[in-house]
Amino acid sequence: PTPDSVRKLRSLLRGNLRITISDGRIFIGTFVGTDKQLNVLLVNTDEYRLGEEYVGGRMSGRFVGQVMIPWRLVQKVEA
């Protein structure tokens, strides 16, 4: 039998995730997996920074493509 945690993680595959990391950046992309260290792999990803680029209530972002986010930096994951 597959553990519930693995089943839940698999249910997120190919879905969009919004990940906030410790320096305040936000990545929005398609979840395609993790590695043994639980680093998160996203594709078709946009990166947003809150701060100077946050003008008039809108975030300014850029397309970064494929990213691997170290799990130790992850603050929040939203599906």
45 exposure class (CB count in 10 Å sphere: 0-12, 13-18, 19+): buried
- Which tens digit of pLDDT belongs to each residue from 20-46? 999 999 999 999 999 999 999 999 999
Structural tokens at position 55? 């003008």
- What ranges do the domains of the chain cover? 4-78
pLDDT exceeds cutoff 90 at 12? yes
The mean pLDDT of 45-58, rounded to a whole number, is 76
Tell me if the domain spanning 4-78 has CATH number 1.10.10.10: no
Q: What average pLDDT does range 47-53 have in this prediction?
A: 78
Q: What is the mean pLDDT of residues 61-76?
A: 97
